[in-house]
Structure 1
Amino acid sequence: MRGTLARWGRAEWGPLYTAVRGRLRERGPLALPMTLSAVALTAFLQYAQNQPWGYRCVQDLGAVRAEDPLWAALLRTPLSLFVPAPDLPVWGALAQILLVFGIAELCLGWWRTLAVAYVATLAGTLYARFGITLGAHAPFGLPWTDAQVVDTGPSAAVVGLAVFAGWRYGAYVTTGAVTLAMVVEVLVKENLAGKEHLAALMAVGLLCLLAAVRDRRGSRPRPRPHRWSGRWAGRGSGLPPIQS
């Protein structure tokens, strides 16, 4: 039993572990500049928004609500990735960012990590507006009171990155488990945050599909060049190349 679990663990997390270990051995903490900056920024914003002098500033720059004008929400969305809920312990958010952002940065690179995180957060932000427009009685709708609720902060980005990195490195069971957990969250506690997480998962799922299509096209063998009227033999015709 123990051997079976070990083999499964190597098959599930082996490629991801190898990539993370290789990058850390190569550069150490210097391989995580974006993640460490994100942790520091999240900690500072949590401290600032719990101070009389900083609450309004953080809200104006990084708090996104569906009742806000769309242009203001789009401007605030990048910073909203790092604004945790002011009434919840910040240590959980910091640990999630350090772990999930860190693994993603080591495996995907910092700019891909930020891109996936932004897409996931933006999907949740736009879904909230769409759901409130539908109304509470529609299948994917939201009550109008959710228009005043602040968006999820870093959690949607964390969920999206966990799924994308897991899929990219073949940890399909882990990816499915994260997805299932988000579905159960909505079924058990139907709130704005849970539904925004599902919207983030759908957006990241689309990114995975696009990446898979791109990779499949890039892996197709190219036709061999043959001299025949100065062209590629067989190109576009579906026929094998003419042998010289």
Structure 2
Amino acid sequence: MNQNTHAGGVRKGPLAYAKQAALAEWGTLFAVVRDQLVRKRFAAVPLAMTATLLILLFSIVQHLPGGDRFVTHIGVVKAALPLDVSLLRTPLSLYVPALDLPVWGALAQVFLVFGVAEIVLGRRLMLVIAYVCTLAGTLFARFGVELGPDHLFGFPRWVAYVRDTGPSAAVVALAVCVAFRCRAYWTGGTVIAVMVGEAVVLPNLAGLEHVVALLSAVLIAVSVEVFGDFWPRVLAGVGAAASVGAEARRAGAIAR
């Protein structure tokens, strides 16, 4: 709360500073998301709802008799699989929850982060980031197995048979891209620091894949920021030039 000073002014208290910092960090994000949800409600996040329902569906199916085999054949990726099979399964592998983690955690993460990303980034860019960053982690696992355990970024051969599924890589990647778009740099930096710290303290396949997904997300976010409006402007210029040329040719034909 605010306090009066001896000079008659008002000195801000810790709560006021915290409120100001939160507004500066999340004000834009909150305003954009609130506006869309107020106007459209759940119609603003159809992809996030679909992704959440798919995770719930796969979680139920893989615990039914014969369901685990079905889910494995359509959505489970391992580094030991042929590359073409991995590429075909990767899109669905986002929605196959890990067996050793509570499914409610994946459901909450996906609904929240995918929903915010769908509103802030747009559906097309959200899908691109989620798929590309997940694929980057999947390919890194294959690369690490090929390098072998003697290399800094290598893995032992048994890692090739580890089930590599779940939306976590896409979630952290989308969180960073949303933070970058809304200029919530402290939030994005915190996500990156936590993921890198996890990979250092508890080195495993998932942790390193998260770091690779984050690097991919940063590259995408920077590219969109720098070149996002470049090609639309080029195409608009080409269209305007073609229109002017057509008008000039039509005027010349009439003059003749």
Q: Which amino acid aligns with 2:145?
A: I
Matched, 1:153 2:166: yes
Shift of 1:212: 2.2
Shift of 1:121: 0.4
Q: Which amino acid aligns with 2:89?
A: R
Cα deviation digits, residues 188-233 of structure 1 (max 9, x gap): 1111000000110111111012112215858x9xxxxxxxxxxxxx
User: 2:157 is matched with which residue?
Assistant: 144
Shift of 1:152: 4.0
Work out which of the residue numbers 169, 189, 200 in structure 1 matches 2:182.
169
Whether contact under 8 Å (2:117, 2:126) holds in the other structure is yes
DSSP 3-state at the match of 2:129: helix
Matched, 1:60 2:58: no
Shift of 1:25: 1.1
**Alignment length, in residue pairs?**
224
User: 2:133 is matched with which residue?
Assistant: 120
Change (3 A) 1:205 1:168: same
Q: Which amino acid aligns with 1:153?
A: G
Cα deviation digits, residues 134-188 of structure 1 (max 9, x gap): 1112111111111011114100000100001111110100000000011111111
Work out which of the residue numbers 203, 209, 217 in structure 2 matches 1:204.
217
User: 1:38 is matched with which residue?
Assistant: 51
Instruction: State the distance in 2 between where 1:79 and 1:57 align.
Output: 12
Instruction: State the distance in 2 between where 1:216 and 1:172 align.
Output: 22
User: 1:134 is matched with which residue?
Assistant: 147
User: 1:101 is matched with which residue?
Assistant: 114
Whether contact under 8 Å (1:156, 1:200) holds in the other structure is yes
Instruction: State the distance in 1 between where 2:100 and 2:182 align.
Output: 35
Shift of 1:110: 1.8
User: 1:79 is matched with which residue?
Assistant: 92
Work out which of the residue numbers 23, 27, 33 in structure 1 matches 2:36.
23
Instruction: State the distance in 2 between where 1:152 and 1:198 align.
Output: 16
Instruction: State the distance in 2 between where 1:137 and 1:74 align.
Output: 27
Work out which of the residue numbers 107, 110, 122 in structure 1 matches 2:123.
110
Shift of 1:88: 2.1
User: 2:19 is matched with which residue?
Assistant: 6
Q: Which amino acid aligns with 1:209?
A: V
Quick check: which has more Rg, 1 or 2? 2
TM normalised by structure 1 equals 0.87
Structure 1 runs of 4+ off > 3 angstroms? 215-218
5+ residue gaps, structure 2, are 1-13, 234-256
Residues 185-224 of structure 1 mapped to structure 2, 5 A cutoff: 185-215=198-228
Shift of 1:5: 1.0
Superposition CA RMSD, Å: 2.1
Q: Which amino acid aligns with 1:104?
A: A
Q: Which amino acid aligns with 2:212?
A: A
5+ residue gaps, structure 1, are 221-244
Instruction: State the distance in 1 between where 2:45 and 2:59 align.
Output: 21
Whether contact under 8 Å (1:49, 1:86) holds in the other structure is no
DSSP 3-state at the match of 1:185: helix
Whether contact under 8 Å (2:76, 2:165) holds in the other structure is no
What's the % identity of the aligned pairs? 48
Whether contact under 8 Å (1:66, 1:148) holds in the other structure is yes
TM normalised by structure 2 equals 0.83
Q: Which amino acid aligns with 1:73?
A: S
